[in-house]
Chains A and B, each alone.
Chain A
Amino acid sequence: MSELLQFLFSGVTVGAVYALVALGFTIIYNASDVVNFAQGEFVMLGGMITFAAHAAGLPLPLAAISAIVLTAALGVGMNKLAIEPARGAPVVSLIIITIGASIFIQGAAQIIFGKQIHSYPAFSGDTPIGVAGATILPQSLWVIGGAVAVFIALWLFFTRTLLGRAVLATSNNRLAAQLVGINTNFVMTLSFALSAGIGALAGVLATPITLTAYNVGIAFALKGFAGAMLGGMGNPKGALVGGFAIGLIEALTAGYLSSTYKDAAAFVVILAVLFFMPQGLFGRKSTDRV
């Protein structure tokens, strides 16, 4: 029993990180249908900037906030300098631009922050919390809490606010959105800022567990992307469920089968789900009217 509980704890710890990264994908995707492959770099920057600011003497909460703000600003910069000039280009070209941005950010981070692996203290100490013979770190609870909080905020944003609906409208039909008076340029800028901010938050919360280095972004982006695909791209609920599901599948496979096959098991499940439900578990059905 304590064994199963430990596997579940391991799964939700990892799953919460995936879910947080997956949530970051939703906004930009909803605004523009672009899968932003630089999302992992935002996560890396969240951790790296917090580390650098903390090492420079800022208290941890201030360092974390500065990391989120700076990364959000970088997201805006990326939209203004790389995405907006290519407006009108097909979605595939825009996705390739985000890959370019990702490589650029990674290279710059390597020069600015160095090639070492970094970390900073956990927010509530390192004493494991014991539950029925299994243990979980307090920082895992921070990550899980962060994932749930971001999910609720996003869900409210997309369903309850005018701005959130404007984002969805822009994604649905940019021209029609402009005609009804939505400033689509502003919506794009906002979505990059929010996505980058959420990515940075993921990095801030996860780094005491995962550690960070200039090149961790790709791994985050891949697993987060897989989570988002499994749940249904663009749906916050899907991102949350998909992220946790992948984490749990990995941990249970490692625990009960073999750690050699844990990544494979997760991807087999994703393939199976997408085969029967191409939109993912909670994806919206695309209906194209002719």
Chain B
Amino acid sequence: MKTTTALATLMALGLTTPALAEIRIGASISATGPAAFLGDPQVKTLEMLVEELNANGGIDGETVRLIHYDDGGDPNKARTFATRLIEDDEVVAIIGGTTTGATMSILSVAEDAEIPFISLAGAIEIIDPVRPFTFKTPHTDRMACQKIFEDIQARGFTNVAMISGTDGFGASMQAQCKEVIGDYGLTLVADESYNPTDADMTAQLTKIRNTAGVEALVNPGFGQGPSIVTRNYAQLGLEIPFYQSHGVASNGFIDLAGADAAEGVRLPGTALLVADILPDDDAQKEIALAYKTAFEDKTGTPVSTFGGYAHDAFLILTDAIGRAGSAEPQAIRDAIEATEGLVGTTGTYTFSPEDHLGLDLSAFRMLEIQNGTWTLVE
């Protein structure tokens, strides 16, 4: 931020030479608003990485300049900022769209202008159908469902209950889970929901407890809801295996739910969350640990999966610009699509003309909370 402001001031004073080699990368992220929880670490991550990269000589000697706007999670603002980034700021690529709504707005602008765009939002609609200039770094909700159901199936259970938040995240994941549950030979025997601001979910959980044959419980949700569900689960003394989603994959969840209540809860998370307990030969250990250490030293706040999405987007982009040897949008796009085996914090990315997500289920680790900390199930 400081560097950006300083640069902007210098430019305004006409002190910098326009001929200075500089690669402009745009970002529209929800640093405030309802998705601030996600966007805040993303902005901090991008600022940190740009600073780091420039201190190490930039990309082939050219400095990178990050121009970022705060869209507040509002799709209309995101559209305006995307247009401004492309037309006024003349960026070569855009990172952003913290929420799916904002992403869909940026996507249409970027596609029209043929500027590569890497989204940080979850929904599968972003890359399905594949659009030439749009890529994304986070897993889809569907993959989280698949990972959970795979684990339930492996443990020999068949009857599953779901309790989902009615917010965008919970509702979308609930729908995706219902679509893929049949592929794993599982049956959905109870399907309850709660409002994200509710203070007590024991009524829904009691109903699930009294449903005949329930063997496992899945809670797609985000924010404080899943913490309250977990506390209520412990309050009622439920003992069926309990799965949370990647939406709460952070240490904050264990603190809020309480270590006792969260004991034994499983969820699909990224390598970043368990960087320090990964085996030394794990491909992701080095990069995840490096990002975690740098972020926590710099900001003093614990690293989050969402910041990791921004980290990976920046990594993919700078890697592509380096390989393309050019900062032309078309060349960058082609280089991104040719990315192969690039190890990030979220997973190992291999893009192709048919796949603009580049991750498979192996990127998710099944984690279990034991004694107030994360352990690897596999």
The residues of A with any CB-CB pair to B shorter than 8 Å are 3, 6-7, 9-11, 13-14, 17, 110, 115-119, 126, 128, 135, 137, 206, 209-211, 213, 215-216, 219, 250-252, 254-255, 258-260, 262-263
Whether A115 contacts B37 in the complex (CB less than 8 A), given A6-B202, A10-B200, comes out as: yes
The interface-forming segment of B52-60, B190-198, B358-366 is B190-198
Complex CA distance for A216 and B195, rounded to whole angstroms: 13
Residue numbers in A under 8 Å from B258 (CB-CB): 126
Known A110-B36, A115-B37; further 19 A-B contacts with Cβ < 8 A = A3-B210, A6-B236, A10-B206, A117-B223, A119-B227, A126-B258, A126-B260, A126-B261, A210-B199, A210-B228, A211-B228, A211-B256, A216-B197, A254-B192, A254-B204, A254-B207, A258-B192, A259-B204, A263-B195
**Residue of A with least CB distance to B39:** A115
State the CA gap A119–B38 with chains docked (Å). 19
Which residues of A sit under 8 angstroms from B260, Cβ to Cβ?
126
B200:A13 contact, CB within 8 angstroms: yes
Q: Are B256 and A10 in contact (CB under 8 A)?
A: no
> Are A255 and B207 in touch, CB under 8 angstroms?
yes
Interface size on B, residues (CB 8 A): 36
Q: Across the interface, which residues of A come within 8 angstroms of B236, CB to CB?
A: 6, 128, 135
Q: Counting CB contacts under 8 A, is B15 at the interface? A: no
Check B40 for interface membership: any CB of A closer than 8 A.
Answer: yes
Please give, as numbers and ranges, the residues of chain A lying within 8 Å of B34 by CB-CB distance.
Answer: 215
**Cα–Cα, bound, A103→B195 (Å):** 22
7 closest Cβ contacts across the A-B interface? A219-B197, A254-B203, A210-B199, A211-B224, A255-B203, A10-B202, A10-B203
Residues of B within 8 A of A262 (CB): 195
On whether the beta carbons of A259 and B203 are closer than 8 Å, the reply is yes
A116, A119, A252, A259: the one contacting B194 at CB < 8 Å is A259
Contact: A117 with B203, CB < 8 Å? no
Q: What's the minimum C-beta distance from B288 to chain A, rounded to whole angstroms? A: 22
Which chain B residue shows the least CB distance to A255?
B203
Select B256's contact among A11, A117, A215, A250, beta carbons within 8 Å.
A117
Distance (Å) between the CB of A204 and the closest chain B CB? 15
Among B32, B197, B203, the one with the most A-chain Cβ atoms within 10 Å of its Cβ is B203
A112 to chain B, nearest CB (A): 14
15 A–B contacts, CB within 8 A, in A order: A7-B203, A10-B203, A11-B203, A14-B198, A110-B36, A119-B227, A119-B255, A119-B256, A126-B231, A126-B258, A135-B235, A210-B199, A259-B192, A259-B203, A260-B166
CA–CA, A262 to B204, complex, Å? Answer: 11
B132 CB, min distance to chain A CBs, angstroms: 35
Q: A110-B32, A117-B223, A117-B224 are in contact. Are A209 and B199 (CB under 8 A)?
A: yes
Cβ of B181 to closest chain A Cβ, rounded Å = 19
Listed residue (A13, A115, A118) with the most chain B CB atoms within 10 angstroms of its CB: A115
Whether B235 pairs with A115 at a CB distance below 8 angstroms is no
Whether A259 pairs with B199 at a CB distance below 8 angstroms is no
Give the residue name and chain of the B residue nearest to A214 (CB).
B36
Q: How far is the CA of A119 from the CA of B227 in the complex (A)?
A: 11
Q: What string of 1s and 0s marks CB contacts (under 8 Å) between B223-244 and chain A?
A: 1100110010011110000000
